[in-house]
Amino acid sequence: MTGVYESPKPRINASMLSQYIGRPVCFVGRLEKVHPSGKALTLSDGEGKSASVELSEPLDEELSGIVEVIGMVSNKGTVMAVSYTQYREDKISFDLELYNEGLKVLHDFPQHYPFEIWKD
């Protein structure tokens, strides 16, 4: 699904999932659970709400802490991930709640943080 990489991927939290069905998104959350199959994760956002993530292939590494997932939102409101990145916290821990506040600011001011390109 290389199309996802080339598209804008709005940063959202769990409450916004339903508004982005069928669209690429970027979801950052704390890893709560990994399904025994290794193909599904549960992440919690800065408001404590959960989101389900489905991976195209089982995890082949240990994941923990803060994970950023890129993918399309399915009809069921799960994120069909095409890639994931673990946020490093080896030196300084990531403030997920503050990130959530920042995310809300982005959505409050789309004219100053566009998730799209304006071409005349």
CB of 36 to another protein, least distance (A): 26
Q: Does the protein bind another protein through residue 64 (CB under 8 A)? A: no
Q: Does the protein bind another protein through residue 62 (CB under 8 A)? A: no
Torsion of CA 81, 46, 91, 86, to 10 degrees: -10
Which residue, 29 or 46, has its beta carbon nearer to another protein?
46
Using CB under 8 A, which residues numbered 71 to 110 contact another protein?
Answer: 85, 87-89, 91-92, 94-95, 97-106, 108-109
Which residue, 26 or 41, has its beta carbon nearer to another protein?
26
| Identity of the residue numbered 104 | K
Query: How many Cβ atoms are within 10 Å of 66's Cβ, its own excluded?
Result: 20
Look at the block and give the residue holding tokens 């920042």.
102
Residues 19 and 47: their CA atoms lie apart, in Å, by 17
Residues in contact with another protein by CB under 8 A are 5-11, 26, 46, 66, 70, 85, 87-89, 91-92, 94-95, 97-106, 108-109, 111-120
